[in-house]
Amino acid sequence: MKIQRFLHLPLAAALAAAAQAAVPVAATDITALPYTISAPGAYELTGNLTGVSGFDGITIASSDVTLDLNGFSLIGVPGSGNGVRLTPFAGYEGIRVENGVIRDWGASGVLANGSSRTTFSHLFLTDNGEHGLRTGGVVLISDCIACGNGQSGFNASGAVLERCIATQNGGIGLDVGGEVRACLSSSNGDDGVNLAGGSIITESVARQNGGDGMSTGVNTTFQDCVATSNDDDGIKAGSTARVTGCLTAANGQHGIEVEDASFVARNLCAKNGLDAGSNGAGILASGANNRLEGNTLLDNDVGLMTTAADNAILLNDCQQNSVAQYVIAAGSAFGAMGFAATSASAFANFIP
């Protein structure tokens, strides 16, 4: 019996096409600024490039573009525009910008308003006149640092941010609508993190910011976050918020502040209310229909405070708060208050 030594023709053609597709496509070198990318493909820097007053550095005017800074820097000059600018609201998508430094631009390091299905990764965005990175649409931002920019570090609606750092920016560190994961925002001039309504933030840290550590609109989740040593509140949420497993400590005003219809549970709030006369509470609920459960509130001005009726308050532990352990508005449902060792109620709120 003869062994056939040929492949089925359609299979052979498919393998040949796959082999051809596996060959890397050479990137186009960018050697001077300003530069406009007007066709799909891969583009890269071969050295540091300096901008020109009155112009953006690199303009992307096409879908399906990868811009690799290749470890080099895009350097602005006085009067320059944006370091990288995606043509706004043009419907371009499938764009990647990665691996380098964008600094000293007169406007933003990256401006990508209206972009979609775009990723930014491993960028160091520093000392730009406006934002470090400003974008909108469906965007992923990962492993980036924004430092010393004139306004926000990151300004991004509809985005996912993960493993990013915003520090020493003039405005808000992370000004985001979407999801924030494992990020740090510190020493910014305004709030550390400002979330649009309907956002979620997990395993992130806000410290030593000039406003709130983390603030938000409605329908937002905070989970396993840390907010310490901020000038105003540690975490300030609107209505229908979920705040669980967080640590807030040494903030100027309240540790956690919510409005109404929120769930606040299993948080540790300590040493809040550092501003003179603030009467800062570990937890302040300023509206109704909140459930405040299982929180530990230590050494604040006030442990737990509500200013409206119809809240459920149970299983909290308040100790060593200087003004009051609990300040509860009339008309709320709360577990009996007493010592942990002697309370007969399964829903008791504990006091020392």
Question: Cβ distance 216 to 195 under 8 Å?
Answer: yes
The Cα 130–Cα 313 span in angstroms is 44
Question: Cβ distance 279 to 323 under 8 Å?
Answer: yes
Q: Are residues 71 and 181 in the same domain?
A: yes
Instruction: Pick the last residue of a domain from 174, 190, 206.
Output: 190
Question: Cβ distance 272 to 280 under 8 Å?
Answer: yes
Establish if 205 belongs to a structural domain. no
Domain span at residue 305 reads: 219-352
Q: Are residues 42 and 109 in the same domain?
A: yes
What sign does the CA torsion over 167, 150, 102, 41 have? positive
Instruction: Pick the last residue of a domain from 142, 172, 190.
Output: 190
Q: Is 15 helix (H, G, I), strand (E, B) or coil?
A: helix
The Cα 234–Cα 142 span in angstroms is 24
Establish if 159 belongs to a structural domain. yes
Instruction: Pick the last residue of a domain from 172, 190, 208.
Output: 190
Q: Are residues 235 and 336 in the same domain?
A: yes
> Position 108: which residue type?
S
Q: Are residues 230 and 140 in the same domain?
A: no
CA–centroid distance for 121 within its chain: 15
Residue 276 neighbours by CB under 8 Å, 6+ apart? none
Report pLDDT for 115. 80
Establish if 209 belongs to a structural domain. no
DSSP assignment, residue 26?
A: P
Report pLDDT for 336. 66
Establish if 13 belongs to a structural domain. no
Question: Cβ distance 133 to 151 under 8 Å?
Answer: no
> Position 42: which residue type?
A
Parallel, antiparallel or unpaired: strands 58-60 and 205-207: unpaired
DSSP assignment, residue 198?
A: T
Q: Are residues 309 and 351 in the same domain?
A: yes
Q: Are residues 121 and 40 in the same domain?
A: yes
Establish if 95 belongs to a structural domain. yes
Q: Are residues 288 and 228 in the same domain?
A: yes
Q: Are residues 250 and 115 in the same domain?
A: no
Q: Are residues 246 and 133 in the same domain?
A: no
Cis peptide before 34 (omega within 30 of 0): yes
Q: Are residues 170 and 240 in the same domain?
A: no
Nearest to 231 by CA among 214, 209, 204, 248: 209
**Hey, which residues does 98 pair with through a beta bridge?**
68, 121
Parallel, antiparallel or unpaired: strands 110-112 and 84-86: parallel
| Distance set, CA 131 to CA 84, 119, 169, 234, 259 (Å) | 12, 17, 9, 24, 30
Q: CB burial class (10 A; 0-12, 13-18, 19+) of residue 239?
A: middle
Question: Cβ distance 129 to 105 under 8 Å?
Answer: yes
Report pLDDT for 6. 37
Q: Along the chain (352 residues), what's the average pLDDT of each consecutive run of 10 residues? A: 43 50 75 97 98 98 96 98 91 94 98 89 98 92 98 95 98 97 98 96 98 96 98 97 98 98 98 89 97 97 95 94 93 67 61 69
Establish if 322 belongs to a structural domain. yes
Neighbours of 275 (CB within 10 A): 14
The Cα 313–Cα 100 span in angstroms is 50
Establish if 212 belongs to a structural domain. no
Report pLDDT for 283. 98
Question: Cβ distance 285 to 262 under 8 Å?
Answer: yes
Number of domains in the chain: 2
- 34's torsion region: left (phi>0), alpha (psi -120 to 50) or beta? beta
Q: Are residues 172 and 244 in the same domain?
A: no
Q: What is the pTM of this model?
A: 0.89
Report pLDDT for 345. 61
Neighbours of 1 (CB within 10 A): 3
The Cα 135–Cα 63 span in angstroms is 16
Q: Are residues 350 and 228 in the same domain?
A: yes
- Which 3-state string (H, E, C) describes 310-351? CCEEECCEEECCCCEEEECCCCCEECCEECCCCCCCCCCEEC
Establish if 15 belongs to a structural domain. no
CATH code, 159: 2.160.20.10
